[in-house]
Every structure is written in structure tokens, then in C-alpha cells.
């Protein structure tokens, strides 16, 4: 999913922005004193909600964009920032795959229209979609929320002209290293085999299954995992619904790759 591009920058101007999301990605990128001092020597953070009262929005070398496009205003902001930015980074699950807010795409409008839709019509909502559906994205930093150290390492690498390392191994890789008991052996629905790791399998370490927040691995084979989970007695609709939670809008791409139909 991540496209790589090497650039060299002299004290790059870095901005953080958010469109529709919960601000959790931006909060996860708030650096502490130990982080920020070395960082300010190599980059100039010119825009950051909660932190920068005055923003310099004249142009950016790198922008981290949280959230997905769910309204016309989101789209306007996204396109405006894209035009002024050399390297745009999708920050977090909502920006990368649509994440949880995009689940709305899988719900019948009639089911919730009577509750909220008439109130929200005036907001001119668009179908929720990840940002790369609308603009070019150079890099993806997944996770709900992403890991702060991953963001820091990424900024340092780019600023120093190094190629940011792409992590492709599934969550299972770290989970095995952490010697966790496998949820699949117990017939529980865990998406570790098809999900990009580098989170140190934090959920499984804490006794929770992986919900796939870091998005699909490049070679994710959803159909094989669906068959395996189904053989273990898990209902196929539940499996697909779980997959939709974080990668739903990317599933059609996987669908093409695996020539399978994920529509329920
Ligand atoms: S990816 Fe998660 S933490 Fe980030 S904006 Fe979306 S819901 Fe919030
Ligand atoms: S518990 Fe989940 S992440 Fe860990 S090895 Fe099993 S399937 Fe993979
Ligand atoms: S274990 Fe799965 S759900 Fe938890 S942080 Fe890692 S990728 Fe996300």
C-alpha cells in the first residue's frame, strides 16, 4: 500500500491537519519535550491543531493528514492542502482506508435516515472515502491511532533524505515473537494474518483479538482467512463485517486481486 519516494530537504516545513476523524491520530502525534527538541533542529512544524496558534500555510514540504473525506468541506480542505504540499502522508486508518467512519457505506440509509439523516443533510455529506480516492498520496502511516514513534522515525527519515522503511509483515509475525497463544486455535476471529504489523501485536498482548486497524498487508489473502475462520465455526457474515470495520473500502481492491466477491 505504501509508495516509496526518496527526497532531500533542508529543514522541511511540516504541517499536521485533520478532516473528518476523532483527532486521535493528531493527539498520538503530540511529541513530548524529549522528542520535540531534537525534532525542531531538523524540521519546522508550521501547522498543528491544538499546538500552533499561528499557522504558516504558505506551503509545505510534508503534511500529515488525519481523517477521511465525508463532506464537501473535507474535500475542499484536502485539495487546498494537496496543492501546497510536496509530500502528503495519510495519517491513520481513517485517512488510509476509511476506517470506522466509512462503515456508513455498508449500512442501508433507510436504517438510520429516520434517526439522523434529515438533520445531517444540510452538512452536504459525501460518501465517506479515504483521502487517496481524491488526491495523490505519497505515503501511508496506518493505525487507529498510528504509533507516535513510527511518526517520529518517519519524519526524521524523510528530513535526512533516507527512504522511510516500509513494514509489510503481518501482525502474526510479532505476535509469534511475543509468544502469545493464538486466537485462531481457540476459534476466535483475529485478523492478524491479513493485517500489517509494526504495532508489536499490542492488542493480542493485552488479550484482545486484532481488528485489523493497520490495514491489509500487500499480499493479504482474505479469502483463505475467511475459509479458515469459517471452518472453525465462525459465521461468514460476521467475518466479513469484522473485515469491513477497518479495511472495508479497500476490500474491493483485494476483491479484484483475489477475484472474490466480498459483498454480502
Ligand atoms: S484512525 Fe482512529 S484515531 Fe485516527 S481519526 Fe480515525 S478513528 Fe480517530
Ligand atoms: S492471535 Fe491473531 S495475530 Fe496472533 S498469531 Fe494468532 S492470528 Fe496471528
Ligand atoms: S493488533 Fe491489530 S488492531 Fe491492534 S494495533 Fe495492531 S493492527 Fe491494530
Does ligand 1 come within 6 angstroms of the Cβ of 21? yes
pLDDT tens-place string over residues 185-240: 999 999 999 999 999 999 999 999 999 999 999 999 888 999 999 999 999 888 98
Does ligand 3 come within 6 angstroms of the Cβ of 209? no
Mean pLDDT lowest for which of 31-35, 105-109, 227-231? 105-109
Closest CA to 131 of 82, 165, 85: 82
Residue whose CA is at the smallest distance from ligand 2 atom 5: 172
Q: Is 196 helix (H, G, I), strand (E, B) or coil?
A: strand
- Distance (Å, rounded) from C-alpha 149 to C-alpha 152? 5
Range with top average pLDDT, 42-46, 48-52, 105-109, 256-260: 42-46
Closest CA to 143 of 23, 25, 18: 25
Q: Among all chains, which residue has been given the C-alpha cell 533524505?
A: 161
Residue 13 grid cell: 516545513
Task: Note the Cα 224 to chain centre separation in Å.
Answer: 23
Task: Give the alpha-carbon dihedral of 153, 159, 160, 164, to 10 degrees.
Answer: 50
Beta bridge partners of 85: 60
Over the chain, what is the mean pLDDT?
85
Residues with CB under 6 A from ligand 2: 171-172, 175-176, 180, 182-184, 190, 192-193, 201, 204, 210
pLDDT at 262 over 70: no
Q: What are phi and psi of 242, to 5 degrees?
A: -60, -40
Task: Note the Cα 67 to chain centre separation in Å.
Answer: 8
Task: Note the Cα 148 to chain centre separation in Å.
Answer: 13
Beta bridge partners of 90: 65, 140
Q: What are phi and psi of 98, to 5 degrees?
A: 105, -30
Does ligand 3 come within 6 angstroms of the Cβ of 242? no
Neighbours of 252 (CB within 10 A): 12
> Is 13-159 a CATH 3.40.640.10 domain?
no
Over its C-alpha atoms, the chain yields an Rg (Å, rounded) of: 19
Q: What pLDDT shows up at residue 55?
A: 77
pLDDT tens-place string over residues 8-25: 678 899 999 999 999 999
Q: What pLDDT shows up at residue 259?
A: 41
pTM of the model as a whole: 0.86
Relative to the alpha carbon of 97, which ligand is closest? 1
Residue 18 grid cell: 485533520
CA of 122 to the centre of ligand 3 (A): 36
- Distance (Å, rounded) from C-alpha 171 to C-alpha 123? 38
Residue spans of beta strands (DSSP E) within the chain:
13-18, 44-47, 60-66, 69-71, 85-91, 125-129, 139-141
Task: Note the Cα 230 to chain centre separation in Å.
Answer: 27
List Cβ neighbours of 161 (8 Å cut-off, separation of 6 or more). 6, 7, 8, 9
Does ligand 1 come within 6 angstroms of the Cβ of 25? yes
The angle at the Cα of 67, spanning 238 to 85, to the nearest 5 degrees, equals 140
Which has the higher per-residue pLDDT, 22 or 262? 22
Q: Cβ distance 229 to 242 under 8 Å?
A: no
Residue-range domain boundaries for the chain: 13-159, 171-258
Mean pLDDT lowest for which of 28-32, 63-67, 144-148, 252-256? 252-256
Q: Cβ distance 31 to 56 under 8 Å?
A: no
Amino acid at each position: 500500500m505504501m509508495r516509496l519516494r526518496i527526497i532531500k530537504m533542508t529543514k522541511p516545513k511540516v504541517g499536521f491537519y485533520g478532516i473528518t476523524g476523532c483527532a486521535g491520530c493528531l493527539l498520538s502525534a503530540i511529541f513530548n519535550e524529549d522528542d520535540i527538541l531534537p525534532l525542531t533542529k531538523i524540521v519546522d512544524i508550521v501547522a498543528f491543531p491544538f499546538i500552533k496558534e499561528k499557522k504558516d500555510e504558505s506551503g509545505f514540504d510534508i503534511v500529515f493528514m488525519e481523517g477521511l473525506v465525508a463532506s464537501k468541506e473535507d474535500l475542499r480542505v484536502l485539495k487546498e492542502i494537496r496543492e501546497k504540499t510536496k509530500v502528503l502522508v495519510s495519517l491513520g486508518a481513517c485517512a488510509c482506508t476509511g476506517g470506522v467512519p466509512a462503515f456508513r457505506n455498508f449500512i442501508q440509509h433507510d436504517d438510520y435516515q429516520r434517526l439522523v439523516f434529515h438533520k445531517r443533510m444540510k452538512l452536504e455529506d459525501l460518501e465517506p472515502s479515504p483521502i487517496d480516492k481524491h488526491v495523490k498520496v505519497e505515503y501511508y502511516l496506518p493505525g487507529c491511532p498510528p504509533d507516535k514513534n513510527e511518526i517520529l522515525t518517519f519524519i526524521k527519515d524523510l528530513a535526512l533524505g533516507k527512504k522511510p522503511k516500509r513494514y509489510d509483515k503481518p501482525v502474526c509475525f510479532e505476535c509469534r515473537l511475543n509468544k502469545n497463544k493464538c486466537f485462531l486455535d481457540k476459534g476466535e476471529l483475529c485478523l492478524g494474518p491479513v493485517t500489517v504489523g509494526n504495532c508489536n501485536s499490542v492488542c493480542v498482548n493485552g488479550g484482545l483479538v486484532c481488528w485489523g486497524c493497520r490495514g491489509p498487508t500487500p499480499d493479504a489473502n482474505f479469502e483463505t482467512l475467511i475459509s479458515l475462520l469459517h471452518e472453525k465455526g465462525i459465521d461468514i457474515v460476521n467475518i466479513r463485517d469484522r473485515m469491513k470495520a477497518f479495511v472495508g473500502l479497500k476490500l474491493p481492491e483485494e476483491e479484484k486481486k483475489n477475484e472474490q466477491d466480498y459483498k454480502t
